[in-house]
Amino acid sequence: FLYLAGQFCCGFFVILILGNFWFLAVLYLLWLYLDWETPCAGGRRSQWVRSWTVWKYFREYFPIHLIKTSDLNPNHNYLLGFHPHGVLVAGAFGNFCTGPSFKNLFPGLTPYLHIMPIWFGCPFFREYVMSAGMVSASKESVSYVLNKEGGGHASIIVIGGAEESLNAHPGSLTLNILKRKGFIKMALKHGAHLVPVFSFGENELFKQVANPKGSWLRNVQEKLQKIMGFALPLFHARGVFQYSFGLIPYRQPIHTVVGSPIPVKRNLNPTTEEIDDLHALYLQKLRQLFEEHKRNYGIPEHKSLIFE
């Protein structure tokens, strides 16, 4: 969906260049040059955009819910690890970029959803995603948020990234996380408390063409991901007036459960052992969060998370 929206915005920009409005395109390129670093410096959110009525219908369609399990003291900064990626990342967008749910449950905290830097190179589209509260997933961007004085800021990072979207099959509980430790290092360097977040129902929104590891399709998808920086899962769901085929996601409830914070002391130069220890603790807390809540959201008792 980000890909399609980005392509539309880029197409519109090309029309400006080829049409009689080339001067507008030149002015925008100048603006783009001057504003290039903004996605790495907290972005430029708009409460008006975040409060659009369309987002209310978006959240109610599935519906999307945000569940709080513990208070988050606004005197601290936090790094929230979001799982799983799914195809749409609907829970992350619906809960952290639209509506009042996060603000009401966690007063005093400002959420920043980090997405791939490539999207901020798309003309016009970058303005839209920044207005919704999205910022770059670069190290500089995460550091900017977590380094803010006085606390009250929360970086939300989809830990599994684009690679994990290729595992987004209904019923899948596989997370790409064992080798992903950069977010742990960032939390240590800035003393940001870690918070595991699991979004139940995220993988149920679409059906994806079978792509087991080692298959020709998966190999092609992984190679394209390395080249382009984002994955291309082949998915389908329902249509507008029928349920057999289309690109509209299924109406499956999404419950995004925010876990308890893991206190982190600031350590500007963490050792590999310290990073590994905190990573292991994070995995333990994430698994514990999943096990405590899976019964509430239709996950069979024998099913557990798989870390890869």
pLDDT digits (tens, 9 = 90+) for 51-68: 999 999 999 999 999 999
Helices and strands (DSSP H and E) totals, the chain:
12, 11
Closest CA to 142 of 67, 192, 97: 192
Q: How much is the pLDDT for 263?
A: 98
Confidence label for 124 from pLDDT (cuts 50, 70 and 90): confident
Q: How much is the pLDDT for 224?
A: 86
Question: Any idea which residue has 């996601």 for tokens?
Answer: 249
Angstrom distance (rounded) from CA 98 to CA 49:
8
| Largest distance between two CA atoms of the chain | 63
Confidence label for 125 from pLDDT (cuts 50, 70 and 90): confident
Sequence-distant (≥ 6) Cβ neighbours of residue 269 within 8 angstroms? none
Q: Which domains does the chain have, with CATH numbers?
A: 1-35 (no CATH), 40-307 (3.40.1130)
| Per-residue b or e along 272-305, where b marks 16 or more CB atoms closer than 10 Å to that residue's CB | eeebeebbeebbebbbebbeebbeebebeeeeeb
3-state secondary structure 141-169: HHHHHHCCCCCCEEEEEECCHHHHHCCCC
Confidence label for 245 from pLDDT (cuts 50, 70 and 90): confident
Per-residue pLDDT tens for 86-113?
A: 998 999 999 999 999 999 999 999 999 9
Angstrom distance (rounded) from CA 33 to CA 58:
33
Is the overall model pTM greater than 0.85, yes or no?
yes
Are 251 and 61 spatial neighbours (Cβ–Cβ below 8 Å)?
A: yes
DSSP string, 31-45: HHHHTTTGGGTT---
Whether pLDDT at 6 is above 50? no
> Reduced to 3 states, what is the DSSP secondary structure of residue 307?
strand
Per-residue pLDDT tens for 204-224?
A: 999 999 999 999 999 999 988
The terminus-to-terminus CA distance of the chain in angstroms comes to 26
Angstrom distance (rounded) from CA 298 to CA 173:
13
